[in-house]
Structure 1
Amino acid sequence: MSKPSVTPDQITAKLNQPGPALRSQPTDRLPAPTREQAMSLTLDQLRPYDRNPRTHHNPKYEEIKDSIRAVGLKQKLTVTQRPGDDRYMISDGGNTRLMILNELYQETDDKQFYHQDCHFIPWQGEINVLAGHLAENDNRGQLSWIERARGIYEAKRMIEEDAGETISQRELTKRLRALGYTISQSNISKMLYSIEHFLPTLPLT
């Protein structure tokens, strides 16, 4: 006995039937990668580092802006992503460059500023990002003494919070070096003294 033939209408009806019910929760974004890699991101997907030690305007801002306007961004932005965040955050310096890219895109509407090739590194912790920004800014000589001092003070607070105990200046020097930020213990001593004794008097001065 031959099998009954299937009509085109029956095939169409089968194709139009709903699929199996979704048992997992839908998601509107993919999780962050788990390894270092190159990523192509837009300005809408990027945010500055909100705990940047720099609090004053970069004195080379216009010089950097002129360079990026003329030849684009020579050094890729390094980014990471906090757990639960919906955007990628600047890591290891780059807040000034990101601000300039946003300005240039608003001024020119040129897509070369909107789309950026970035270097992604997986999230390692708040202290790692802070140490990266301190090291990058130190290499460029762009932080004032008090900005560096405030960064060191915040790094000490973060490390002690994670460790659950107070650490010595010698131990702080050692841990910062392990995070890629080298600074002498004598400078750390002077910086912490500046924050504890001089900073409170600066507004009055």
Structure 2
Amino acid sequence: MTNKLDMGVVAASILAANPSQSKMDIGKTPTLPSGFSMTVPVSEIDFFKWNPRRIHDSEEFEHLKESIREVGVQQPVYVTTPPGSDRYMLARGGNSRLLCLQQLLSETGDDRFSKIPAIYVEYTSDEDLLDAHLIENEQRSDMFFWDKAYAYAKRRDLFQDAEGKSIGLRHLADKFVNKGITKTSFSKLSVYLFAADTLQALGSLCIYLSIPKASDLRKTYNDLDLVYKNEGKTDEEAFQFFWNNCLENWSNINADTDDLDVPALQQFINERFAAEFDIKVDGGESKTPHSTPLPQQLSQEKTELEKNEPKLRPAATSKSENSANSDGLTANKSNLNSGTDRPQSDSVGRQPVDPAGGTIIPGNLSSPRENDTAADISFRYQFRAHP
């Protein structure tokens, strides 16, 4: 069966609304030469429909916004015109700069925020635009894990649609490299795609996923699936329904939390698995694999973690734990300045911002990124930053 990204579930998972667009009749946009520099009203530019960066850091976003408030947009955005459209569309990143101007214009009414410097590029295809946005965002700054998982799965779907068949992971990795999209390892790419295909039911909690967290959940999924099959059960749809139902229930129960507690979720899934399929070993214990934590283990492990966890980790020292490109090291921001001293770029950090609707999505100031460590996870048992 060919994996397919469920766009409806993905959209709901980050609570992103469509950007408000102007309905003014500006007539047909004339054909322009590629590379043409111009100034364009922000009301005439649409966000790219498959924009891969949908989660932005609130602190970084505000830094960019204040810089633009003081000196205007210093770096032009790239725009194009899709066939049959009389509007411009972002062609390579630029979502944060455009959103900042939209907000500043709405807040102040100052005409200097009504236009943005732009460079026109010729439209080729939506697939090429997605590639360009991915490359631009990866070069500028770290993307959140869930953003990258969504974008990679979408690009895989487009590759498969073009070839009319499912594409193996190694072949897909080669295609990504040939397009210049990513240097992500084969093993990490598999985690991104697993998350997009199998963890969507977590809904709004998806923004707290990271490489380690998704890897742990994949291990649980594979282990339980193996136990399920070893018991002679062959209804894969029933197992998948069980899995999605567990994630949905967990998401509903923890809708007001600001983290994804994977060990607790694993315990929840194990208990539901034993009850749902009545798979037991002698003595009445759940026949879940040893690699997946059992309730007793989780209780002991949590106690030990709480003994050693830090009392407070300042947000300023936790740059991008749930970034897809993070090396897992913390970054000291004491040498970073706000305002005009900072280069203007679309960047991402800790708390997410919906770049389409401009809504700040409440989140932990130290939300998990790609290389979230065990210490990072244990920290969240005690300290949570509520909006």
TM, length-normalised to structure 1:
0.77
What is the match of residue 94 of structure 1?
94
Quick check: which has more Rg, 1 or 2?
1
Kindly provide the amino acid, as one letter, of the partner of residue 249 in structure 2.
L
What is the match of residue 9 of structure 1?
none
Q: Is the 8 A contact 2:29 2:87 kept in 1?
A: no
Change (3 A) 1:106 1:175: same
The answer to whether residue 19 in structure 2 is matched with residue 43 in structure 1 is no
Cα offset, 1:91, TM superposition: 1.6
What is the match of residue 190 of structure 2?
189
Q: Which runs of 5+ in 1 are unaligned?
A: 1-27
Cα offset, 1:63, TM superposition: 1.1
Output the aligned Cα RMSD. 2.2
What is the match of residue 204 of structure 1?
249
What is the match of residue 257 of structure 2?
none
Change (3 A) 1:34 1:158: farther
Q: Is the 8 A contact 1:58 1:142 kept in 2?
A: no
- How far, CA to CA, are the matches of 1:168 and 1:186 in structure 2? 13
The answer to whether residue 84 in structure 2 is matched with residue 84 in structure 1 is yes
Kindly provide the amino acid, as one letter, of the partner of residue 172 in structure 1.
L
Q: Is the 8 A contact 1:49 1:90 kept in 2?
A: yes
Answer with 83-92 or 177-186: which moved more.
Answer: 177-186
- How far, CA to CA, are the matches of 2:80 and 2:29 in structure 1? 14
What is the match of residue 52 of structure 2?
53
Answer with 132-141 or 90-99: which moved more.
Answer: 132-141
Q: Is the 8 A contact 1:77 1:119 kept in 2?
A: yes
- How far, CA to CA, are the matches of 2:30 and 2:160 in structure 1? 30
Change (3 A) 1:143 1:66: same
Change (3 A) 1:102 1:183: same
Task: Give the % identical residues.
Answer: 28
Kindly provide the amino acid, as one letter, of the partner of residue 49 in structure 2.
D
Q: Residues 49-97 of structure 1, C-alpha deviation per residue, up to 9 Å, x if partnerless?
A: 2222233343321111001111111111111121111111112111121
| More strand, by proportion | 1
What is the match of residue 132 of structure 1?
132
What is the match of residue 153 of structure 2?
153
Greater relative contact order (Cα < 8 A, sep 6+): 2
TM, length-normalised to structure 2:
0.43
Q: Which runs of 5+ in 2 are unaligned?
A: 1-26, 203-246, 251-387
